[in-house]
Amino acid sequence: MARVRLNQTADLPETHRWLFERLEKRGGLLNIFRAMSHSPEALLRFMRFGNYFLEDGKVDPKLRELAILRAGWLCRAPYEFSQHIAFGRRTGLTDDQIRAVADPTPALFDARELAVLTFAAELTTDARASDAAFNALREYMDEEQIVELTMVTSFYNMVSRILNTLDVDIDPPAAKDLAELRVTL
């Protein structure tokens, strides 16, 4: 059970209710937003920043999702990991690959994907990437993409820490995805 109330539209200040109304029209109000809405202006800015990566980013969506799933797994963030199963599937990741972000192998990932997974892992666990991991990315990405991947991975580390600290309940569709994969974080 979440440590903070999961707000409804009526709980927001009138100046920010449009956020929830728009989300409800787009298909649903996720618990992450309900929890974070206790700070409505921060939520608005958080959403704009995150949406850039998901909608307009320069990093290949499949690689982006590998980095997000790896960060979520290493942060032991079940909400974050489960929420991005569907995103990963939409980018072409198989369920075997999604499971394997826990322990990536060349049997399931190509060299470019392994470079992203290694980079995301080091950034998550060490708060920086080694020269070897950084240089491996240079083989596949330009500097804009490397900087963006750094930002994506760091952003989703922050998201994972927020979700874990607030103990946000997993939304039912994501819980179903997590159960289908039969993984436990």
pLDDT at residue 17, rounded to an integer: 94
Q: Are 119 and 149 in contact (CB under 8 A)?
A: yes
Q: What percent of the chain has pLDDT over 70?
A: 100
pTM confidence score: 0.95
Distances (CA, A) of 38 to 15, 42, 105, 117: 13, 9, 41, 33
Q: Residue 44: what pLDDT? A: 94
CA dihedral for 8, 161, 39, 155, sign (positive or negative): negative
Give domain 59-181's CATH architecture. Answer: Up-down Bundle (1.20)
Determine which helix (DSSP H) or strand (DSSP E) holds 63, and give its type and residue range: helix 61-74
Q: Is the pLDDT of residue 127 over 90?
A: yes
* Distance, CA of 19 to CA of 79 (rounded, Å): 21
Q: What single letter denotes the amino acid at residue 1?
A: M
Looking at every residue in the chain, the average pLDDT score rounds to 96
Reduced 3-state DSSP string for 98-166: HHHCCCCCCCCCCHHHHHHHHHHHHHHHHCCCCHHHHHHHHCCCCHHHHHHHHHHHHHHHHHHHHHHHH
* Segment holding 21, helix H or strand E: helix 17-25
**Domain definitions of the chain by residue range:** 9-55, 59-181
At 47-80, the pLDDT tens digits run 999 999 999 999 999 999 999 999 999 999 999 9
* Higher-confidence position of 159 and 28: 159
